[in-house]
């Protein structure tokens, strides 16, 4: 690893290729998200956004869990009588998951290696791609704790799955394995546990072979239009397209057309654009 930093609840490692691995690191508590974890994640993601060595962000968990959701002891019970502590933790969570991760210009992958419950769905949904181990376990267990899926869990879950499934899984708290998570729209793909890291690295490399600026604009566009009507989306996408042409330092659009139309050496319909390393 080229860079490594260990926080109290999170481990951050950047390899020589450009993948930054963020590992929720409380395996003894199944990576439940404590107030400290939220504050650390806010600092980490803020820093990675402008870290030139980070091309792709991968979120995973130490041990057999991705994250068992909010820490029922430290996040809920211990802050019931500490409104300042609760506000700090909730705001840090909102900032790192809903703002920094969702709107990061860097591609993000959730590599789900085990349990993913409740509050963990917000950061899961914030990632662009979710690769789950087939034996991972997802669930909205809030109903078992006498609470609703708050902190935007109901919103992000309802945006990923159908209305019927949102009601069903929120009301029963039933668990979902990796394959079923793909079927429901929670995960992008599922693979056997022993292939999880290999598949994640392969997808990260695929992303790193593309123009970072084009990827950033693409993910922003897909996310932004979700809340728009057709006319708004049309106008927004027109403006966003022009903005990309002006902002792209690699002029990927012009290069792609030249290579396809003039030089006849590029057929993206047959093979995704692979940039020579020297041009990255």
Q: Which residues bind ligand ACO (CB under 6 A)?
A: 29-30, 32, 68-73, 115, 117-119, 141-142, 145
Spatial separation of the C-alpha atoms in residues 256 and 229, rounded to whole Å:
31
Spatial separation of the C-alpha atoms in residues 156 and 123, rounded to whole Å:
9
Element (H, E) at 112: strand 108-112
Q: How far is the CB of 71 from ligand ACO (least distance, A)?
A: 4
123 or 141: whose CB is closer to ligand ACO? 141
- How many Å from the N-terminal Cα to the C-terminal Cα in the chain? 20
Q: How far is the CB of 146 from ligand ACO (least distance, A)?
A: 10
87 or 145: whose CB is closer to ligand ACO? 145
Facing residues of 86 across strands?
none
Q: How far is the CB of 26 from ligand ACO (least distance, A)?
A: 8
Q: How far is the CB of 263 from ligand ACO (least distance, A)?
A: 53
Q: Is 279 helix (H, G, I), strand (E, B) or coil?
A: helix
Q: How far is the CB of 109 from ligand ACO (least distance, A)?
A: 22
136 or 182: whose CB is closer to ligand ACO? 136
68 or 244: whose CB is closer to ligand ACO? 68
User: If we measure between CA atoms, which residue out of 118, 136, 106 comes closest to residue 22?
Assistant: 106
Longest dimension (CA), the chain: 69
73 or 274: whose CB is closer to ligand ACO? 73
Spatial separation of the C-alpha atoms in residues 203 and 275, rounded to whole Å:
15
């Amino acid at each position: 690893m080229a860079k490594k930093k260990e926080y109290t609840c999170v481990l951050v490692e950047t390899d020589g290729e450009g993948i930054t691995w963020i590992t929720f690191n409380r395996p003894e508590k199944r990576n439940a998200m404590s107030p400290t974890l939220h504050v650390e994640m806010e600092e980490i993601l803020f820093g990675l956004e402008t870290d030139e060595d980070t091309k792709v962000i991968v979120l995973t968990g130490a041990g057999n869990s991705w994250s068992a959701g909010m820490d029922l002891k430290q996040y809920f019970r211990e802050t019931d009588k500490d409104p300042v502590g609760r506000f700090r933790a909730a705001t840090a969570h909102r900032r790192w998951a809903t703002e920094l991760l969702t709107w990061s210009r860097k591609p993000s992958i959730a590599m789900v290696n085990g349990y993913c419950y409740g509050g963990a769905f917000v950061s899961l949904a914030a990632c662009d791609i979710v690769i789950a181990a087939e034996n991972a376990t997802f669930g909205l267990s809030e109903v078992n704790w006498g609470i609703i899926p708050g902190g935007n869990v109901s919103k992000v879950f309802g945006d990923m799955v159908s209305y019927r499934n949102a009601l069903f899984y929120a009301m029963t708290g039933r668990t979902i394995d990796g394959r079923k998570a793909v079927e429901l729209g929670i995960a992008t793909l599922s693979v056997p546990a022993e292939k999880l890291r290999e598949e994640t690295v392969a997808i990260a490399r695929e992303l790193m072979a593309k123009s970072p600026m084009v990827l950033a604009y693409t993910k922003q566009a897909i996310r932004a239009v979700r809340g728009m009507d057709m006319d708004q989306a049309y106008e927004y996408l027109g403006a966003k397209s022009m903005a990309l042409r002006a902002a792209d330092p690699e002029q990927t659009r012009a290069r792609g057309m030249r290579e396809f139309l003039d030089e006849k050496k590029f057929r993206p319909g047959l093979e995704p654009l692979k940039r020579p390393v020297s041009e990255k």
